[in-house]
Structures are given as structure tokens and as C-alpha cells.
Amino acid sequence: MVLGGLFEANGYHSSAWLLPGAQDKAPTDVDYFRRIIQIAEAGLLDFFFLADTPAARTENLDAWTRGPLYMNMLEPITLLSALAGTTAHIGLGATASTSFYEPFNVARLFASLDHISHGRAAWNVVTSANDFAARNFGLDRLPPHDRRYARAREFLHVVRGLWDTWEDDAFIYDKANARMFEPSKFHVLDHQGEFFKVHGALNMARPPQGSPVIFQAGASETGKAFAAETAEVVFGTGATMEEALAFYRDLKGRMPAYNRHPDALKILSGVSIVVGDSEAHAREKWASWQDKVHIDIGLLYLKTDLETDLSDLPLDEPVPPHRVPATSNHHQVYFQEIAGLIHQGLTLREVCRRYNRSKAIFFGDAAQVADQMQAWVEAGACDGFMIAFPVLPDSLVEFTTQVVPELQRRGLFRTAYQGTTLRDNLGLRRPASRHAR
């Protein structure tokens, strides 16, 4: 079972920062993150993952001041570079947008992180999903979904080409003959495509993993095709086991068309995990956090992910279904989840309260949480989980000290890191250089 952790400063739950134990200034405190990642590594998690958005929000500021997201965070690649030295085994996954970076810079930053961490880097390839980001990079709004993915596909192709500049044994350090490298093992990329023209070569030895591990999270049709062709870890969607199963079968079923074996891709279901003395106790904890979410924040999440503003509607009446836009351009799965809640006839307040960005929530004591995790994996709904810890460090400590031992007792999770690289621990093959003979 693969276990990754999604880390936001005080936790994934938007009320986490309001709780009495929450550390102020956590979003920009590297020492705080050092303590968190050390707990995650002690718990043997496969990787520590940081989501990202390259923009503060510039509207609805009075509402955003109630929520912890988007407005204040360290840049993920620099933060993970800093955390690499505090850890020795846990993978380090950062998000970077193909819409707002140049391929050469991304190739270099992640290759460097892979060297710095001795083979523990992963790149979450995203196309970004908000117009605030677009406006930071010269555009008025985000390009259409399919254009973003077309650029992403070409972008990744260029980045992989640059990572293969040097064969693994190109640098020989032959002092006697004053030859640092073997020129025949150096390969210049000559790419001319729709979005990029790159005639050049990466000025860095091949990354320890050959290629940092490629993460993706897209769940639209285009996103699934892209993932089936190129991804090695996908954050799967599905708030129920049935939805996750359908997603899993769909995505893995697309892989043979790209000559890929299903084992070359690990699908991790996104879940929140709430451990308590009992299921009732865990649910009470969650409810107490939900009670603290100001309705303005709930409405703002809806506005962001449904791409329309519902704040003029009465809170305690059902949302008129005609208010759901005909199409979406941002997170299509989030859009569909909200539309589904509205079509159930829920009130606006209930839609806000139930919406959880396509994540299941596992409640219970350690054994009950382990039961659910085991059931999903054994049913073939996922290869593991991408855990959004609601409250840090508490949710992480509870998980690693209570649920991890239970999973270990059942033989479902490692008792020590097996390999030295993230690829080793994930059971992913190290790609050979395209130029190796």
C-alpha cells in the first residue's frame, strides 16, 4: 500500500489554523515544516507532497481572510530543497505549472532537487486552474482546458528530453587525460513543437532517478488520457469506493493503448482521515471543525470550483439547478461534485458543508480506519492513498502512531524503507536513458 501525505501548513481542513494548538505563521516557517516532515518520515510515508497555486486571490478579500489557503505559502521546490537535508528516505513531491513556467527551468529545478535529495524528487504536473494565476503571467484568463493540456504534454516531452541530456555514465572524471566527460554520451535536444522551441542541453548530470517521479491529478477526459500516457502516480478521485473503483479501472484500462503496463502507474485515492477513540468520536471531531468554517469560506470554495457565484442565494433553501454553469474550465471533477450535490436538492448551506473536493473521509479508531483502507485496496479501488491530514500535527501523529502500526500488523504497509530512492519505495522502474546503448 502506497501512502503519500498532502501537507498544508496547519492542515487540510480550512478551520485548522483556528484551533487552539495551531501554530501561528506556520505557512512560512521552515522549522515548523521540518518537524512535520520528520513525523511523516518516522511513520514511513512514501512521500511528502505540496500542492501549489502561483497566485494570491485578489477578490473577496474579506472572505479569504477567514481561510488559510492560497494567500500565504512558501514556494514548494525551495521548501522541499530545504527539507531534503532534514530527512533521508521520504519522497519529496512538488507541484509546478506547465502553463506558467519554461520547460528548461522546470527540468533544471527538479533535476537539482533530485540530486539534492539523492533521488527522492517528484514533480506534480499541473496546468493550473484559476485566472488569478493567469493574470500574474501576462494573461487575462486561463487558456482553455484542452489547450493547457496540449501545452502540458509538449512541456513534459521537452523536460524528459532535457533530463536525458547526459547518459548515466557520461561523467568520468578522468584526471590523467583531463577528460571530465565522454562527449559521445552527451545529447543535445532539438525540439520544435507547437508551443516550444528548444535547441539545447541540460547543464546537469542525469538525475539519480533518471527522471523524477511524474505525478498528476487530472481527472477530466483529457487529463486521464495524459495520465495514462505519462503519469507514474495519479491522485485518484472518488468520494466513495465505487467511484474510486470506476476511476481506477478507467485509467488503468487506458494504459495498454500507450504500451504501458498498469503497474507503471500507482493510483492513490485522495482521502481525509480522522482517527478517534471510536467512529462517533472521530465524527464529532470533524463536526467540531466544520462548525468553525465561516459560511463565507464555504461560498468562496463553491465560487472557485463551480466557477460561478452563488452568494446571492438564500442559505437554507435548495440551490436552483439552473445556476450550475453549462461547462467548466478549471477543476472538472470538483465542478461535477458540486453540481451533483446541487442536483440532490440540498440547501446552499448543506452543499458548502458536504463539499470535500472529491475526497472520501475515513472515520474511526485505528482498526476501523485500517479496515476501510484495506477494503479499498483489496477491492482494487486504488494502490494506496493520498492523505490530506485535516489538522497538523495532530492528525499526522494519530495516523502514524495508531493506524500505521495497525496496517503493519496486517502486513499491508512497510516496516522500514526498502530502497534509497522514491522510485524504489514506490516500486517504479528507473527509466533507462533514451540514448543508452
Q: Give the 3-state secondary structure of residue 200.
A: strand
| Grid cell in block for residue 57 | 486571490
> Could you say whether residue 61 binds a second copy (CB under 8 A)?
yes
Largest CA distance in the chain: 81
> Which of 18, 315 has the CB closer to a second copy?
18
Per CB under 8 A, the segment of 17-25, 37-45, 229-237, 300-308 that binds a second copy is 17-25
Interface residue with a second copy, options 1, 37, 40, 84 (CB under 8 A): 84
Site residues for a second copy, 87-106, by CB under 8 A, read 100-102, 104-105
Select from 299, 390, 410, 379 the least CA-distant residue to 17: 390
Minimum distance, C-beta of residue 422 to a second copy, in the bound complex (Å): 16
The residue among 141 and 409 lying less far from a second copy, judged by its C-beta, is 141
C-alpha–C-alpha distance, residues 358 and 361, integer Å: 10
Q: Which of 1, 90, 159, 198 binds a second copy (CB under 8 A)?
A: 198
User: Which residues 6+ apart lie within 8 Å of 69 measured at CB?
Assistant: 8, 14
* Cell triple for 267: 493510483
- Bond preceding residue 68 cis, omega within 30 of 0: no
Min dist. Cβ of residue 374 to a second copy (A): 38
Is 95 flagged in the annotation as binding?
yes
Q: Are 250 and 363 in contact (CB under 8 A)?
A: no
Query: Interacting stretch for a second copy, rule CB under 8 A, among 77-85, 274-282, 350-358, 377-385?
Result: 77-85
Shortest Å distance, C-beta 199 to a second copy: 4
Q: Does 412 bind a second copy (CB under 8 A)?
A: no
> 3-state class of 288 per DSSP?
helix
Q: Is 417 part of any known ligand binding site?
A: no
Instruction: Tell the smallest beta-carbon distance from residue 211 to a second copy (Å).
Output: 16
52 labeled binding residue: yes
What are the distances in angstroms from CA 140 to CA 53, 57, 251, 409, 430?
A: 16, 14, 33, 54, 40
Site for a second copy contains 58 (CB under 8 A): yes
Residues 132-151 that bind a second copy (CB under 8 A): 132-133, 135-138
Which residues, listed in sequence order, are joined to residue 271 by a DSSP beta bridge? Answer: 360, 387
Residues within window 34-53 making contact with a second copy, judged by CB under 8 A: 34, 53
Residue whose C-alpha is closest to residue 271's, from 306, 240, 248 = 240
Among 157, 281, 292, 430, binds a second copy (CB under 8 A): 292
Smaller CB distance to a second copy: residue 22 or 397? 22
Q: In the structure grid, which three cell numbers stand for residue 294, read together?
A: 465561516
- Separation CA 145–CA 120 (nearest Å): 30
* Whole-angstrom distance, CA of residue 315 vs CA of residue 303: 14
Of 143, 168, 171, 408, the residue at the interface with a second copy (CB under 8 A) is 171
Binding window for a second copy (CB under 8 A); candidates: 192-200, 392-400, 419-427, 429-437: 192-200
Cβ atoms within 10 Å of 250's Cβ, excluding its own = 14
User: What type of residue sits at position 262?
Assistant: P
Beta bridge partner(s), residue 220: none
What binding mask, one character per residue, do residues 225-264 give for a second copy by CB under 8 A, x or -?
A: ----------------------------------------
**220 annotated binding-site participant:** yes
**Cell 464529532 belongs to which residue?**
284
- Residue closer to a second copy, measured from CB, 157 or 281: 157
Question: CB of residue 122 vs a second copy: minimum separation in angstroms?
Answer: 14
Quick one: which of 128, 165, 332, 336 contacts a second copy (CB under 8 A)?
165
Which CB atom, from 172 or from 432, has the smaller least distance to a second copy? 172
295-306 helix and 332-343 helix, angle to the nearest 10 degrees: 120
